[in-house]
């Protein structure tokens, strides 16, 4: 991957009619940025603007990968992303580095950012992590869940069931499922567990999109898997909560394995 070209001194150009300040041309972004003006709000500083652009690029790239719009096994097109998001090179790289830290992108020196294919081992690792983390979360949640959190879980389970019945789009169903499990983690009152669950669940969203694309939609039985979790927490039954969460996760794993092209490695 080529290095960042040095930025030349910025050249002022005349402001268009009605504009109170001059514009600057920067070779780093090949676009225009506002010059300092005494009446400009602080939120419009270059740093804040760059961060906003990087955030927009981050979500655009991540959504594209999760939804399969950006294919696995391909290099990310910097030109395409920058044109689509209307950003310069710096926000683009900030977004890609963030995705690299989340193990969604890989960096290949002198070539760019690569979208890795999910291997059988990677998929199994993700589900194994969920089984370990969320079984502990379920047990703690039964002991520590507060009334508002239980109501949130009930509302989310009801919404998920409704989404399945009305054949809502894949994005809405997957987002609702992730939020349910994150809320379950919040019910433990343990911020570290919330962070761990959120990271693993976000990585698993890619698998959920793959499954729904291959199957053409969710199975009706998936809609009711959340209610036993809610019931167990309401009854403060940690064993049943753990069992219900494990069933939800293993059902999801079975669905992924059924539609995937991965073949388990032979054990010698």
> Do 180 and 103 have their domain in common?
no
Structure confidence by residue, pLDDT tens digits, 39-65: 434 433 445 565 688 999 998 998 888
What are residue 262's phi and psi, to 5 degrees? -75, 140
In a domain, 4, yes or no: no
> Do 66 and 196 have their domain in common?
no
Task: Quote the number of domains for the chain.
Answer: 2
At 12, the pLDDT band (50, 70, 90 cuts) reads very low
Structure confidence by residue, pLDDT tens digits, 114-135: 999 877 888 889 999 999 999 9
The reported pLDDT for the residue numbered 74 is 92
In a domain, 163, yes or no: yes
> Do 49 and 124 have their domain in common?
no
Q: Show the domain range for 64.
A: 11-115
> Do 148 and 102 have their domain in common?
no
Final residue belonging to a domain, choices 115, 147, 182? 115
Final residue belonging to a domain, choices 98, 115, 132? 115
> Do 16 and 141 have their domain in common?
no
> Do 56 and 186 have their domain in common?
no
Structure confidence by residue, pLDDT tens digits, 88-109: 999 999 999 999 988 889 999 9
Structure confidence by residue, pLDDT tens digits, 156-170: 999 998 888 887 778
Q: What is the pTM of this model?
A: 0.68
Residue 208 pLDDT > 90, yes or no? no
In a domain, 69, yes or no: yes
> Do 157 and 249 have their domain in common?
yes
In a domain, 6, yes or no: no
> Do 110 and 133 have their domain in common?
no
Distance CA 162, CA 168 (A): 8
> Do 87 and 142 have their domain in common?
no
Final residue belonging to a domain, choices 79, 96, 115? 115
Average pLDDT over residues 2-27: 41
Residues near 139 by beta carbon (within 8 Å), at least 6 away in sequence: 238, 241, 242
Q: Which CATH number does the domain housing residue 178 bear? A: 1.20.120.530
**Following DSSP, what letter does each residue of 172-235 receive, concatenated?**
HHHHHHHHHHHHHHHTTT-HHHHHHHHHHHHHHHHHHHHHHHHHSS--GGGGGSSHHHHHHHHT
Using alpha carbons, select from 111, 120, 99, 103 the residue that is nearest to residue 74. Answer: 111
> Do 69 and 169 have their domain in common?
no
> Do 111 and 131 have their domain in common?
no
> Do 110 and 166 have their domain in common?
no
């Amino acid at each position: 991957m080529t290095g960042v070209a040095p930025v030349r001194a910025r050249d002022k150009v005349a402001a268009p009619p009605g504009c109170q300040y001059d514009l600057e041309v920067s070779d780093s972004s090949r676009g225009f940025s506002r010059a300092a003006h005494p009446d400009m709000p602080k939120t419009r500083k270059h740093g804040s603007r760059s961060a906003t652009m990087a955030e927009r690029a981050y979500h655009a790239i991540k959504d594209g990968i999760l939804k399969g719009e950006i294919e696995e096994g391909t290099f990310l097109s910097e030109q395409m992303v920058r044109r689509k998001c209307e950003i310069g090179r710096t926000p683009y790289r900030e977004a890609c580095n963030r995705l690299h830290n989340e193990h969604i992108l890989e960096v290949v020196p002198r070539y760019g950012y690569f979208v890795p294919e999910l291997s059988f081992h990677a998929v199994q690792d993700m589900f194994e992590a969920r089984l370990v983390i969320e079984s502990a979360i379920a047990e703690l949640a039964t002991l520590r869940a507060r009334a508002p959190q239980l109501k949130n879980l009930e509302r989310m389970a009801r919404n998920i069931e409704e989404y399945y019945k009305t054949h809502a789009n894949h994005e809405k169903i997957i987002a609702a499922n992730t939020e349910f499990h994150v809320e379950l983690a919040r019910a433990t009152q343990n911020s570290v567990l919330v962070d761990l669950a959120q990271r693993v669940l976000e990585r698993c969203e890619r698998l959920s999109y793959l499954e729904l694309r291959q199957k053409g939609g969710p199975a009706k039985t998936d809609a009711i898997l959340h209610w036993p979790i809610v019931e167990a927490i309401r009854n403060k039954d940690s064993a049943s909560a753990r069992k219900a969460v494990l069933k939800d996760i293993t059902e999801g794993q079975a669905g992924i394995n059924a539609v995937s092209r991965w073949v388990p490695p032979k054990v010698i």
